[in-house]
């Protein structure tokens, strides 16, 4: 049923997708907003420094990509799909399901399926992590173009919110997100041995 609803939501995508990307974008596009001037908070026993912007907390490199995305990404018409998800809610699954539905091969021939030989994160690029920081040329991507973002709705580029593009959103129980996020943080900090305690309410 979930797959059927997702397929129905993605039907009827057509028209011309317009996107502009300068290959030499500044990493911080808004001179009035400097990362160094934003409120900061440490997390995971001071292993990570976070910056607050528009009501959400970001790692500084991610915030720089988010600012570039908000300033430079232009979408028009209804020929693009934005997969929107918070951290640890099932992003990899969405990056697999949406292209599979859109580009479903006829019969059993999967030679043209990009997921056969590629990781989902290489098939669907994250705007603030892969497109703008790495200066990807997205003008050559086939239509319909599928992108992903971790940005909340209020921080999305106006051309996305004001266009007819499809936004596929996946929520998850905040407590489950918290547990998954802590597990990921521990996995990255393999040498971390100190005892710690976290407040669930403070983290969300």
| DSSP assigned state of 104 | P
CA–CA distances in Å: residue 82 to residues 21, 24, 63, 110, 125: 17, 24, 19, 24, 10
Residue of 103, 64, 98 whose CA lies nearest to 169: 98
Rounded CA separation 138/161 (Å): 20
Q: How many CB atoms lie within 10 A of CB 159?
A: 16
Residue 66 has which token pair?
């988010």
Residue of 146, 166, 136 whose CA lies nearest to 103: 146
| DSSP assigned state of 51 | E
Catalytic residue among 24, 72, 121, 150: 150
Mapped onto helix, strand or coil, the DSSP state of residue 25 is coil
Pairing of the two strands 40-43 and 48-53: antiparallel
Residue 150 a catalytic site member: yes
Residues recognised as catalytic = 150
């Amino acid at each position: 049923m979930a797959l059927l609803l997702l397929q129905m939501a993605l039907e009827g995508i057509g028209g011309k997708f317009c996107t502009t990307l300068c290959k030499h974008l500044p990493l911080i596009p808004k001179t009035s907003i400097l990362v160094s001037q934003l409120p900061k908070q440490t997390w995971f026993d001071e292993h990570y420094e976070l910056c607050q912007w528009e009501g959400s907390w970001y790692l500084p490199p991610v915030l720089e990509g988010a600012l570039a995305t908000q300033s430079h990404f232009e979408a028009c018409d209804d020929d693009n799909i934005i997969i929107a998800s918070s951290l640890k809610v099932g992003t990899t699954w969405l990056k697999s399901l949406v292209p599979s539905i859109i580009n479903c091969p006829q019969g059993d021939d999967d030679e043209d399926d990009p997921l056969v030989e590629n990781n989902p994160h290489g098939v669907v690029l994250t705007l603030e992590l892969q497109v703008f920081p790495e200066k990807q040329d997205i003008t050559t991507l086939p239509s319909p173009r599928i992108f992903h973002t971790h940005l909340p709705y209020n921080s999305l580029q106006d051309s996305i919110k004001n266009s007819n593009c499809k936004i596929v959103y996946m929520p998850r129980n905040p407590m489950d997100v918290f547990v998954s996020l802590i597990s990921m943080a521990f996995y990255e900090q393999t040498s971390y041995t100190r005892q710690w305690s976290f407040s669930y309410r403070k983290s969300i």
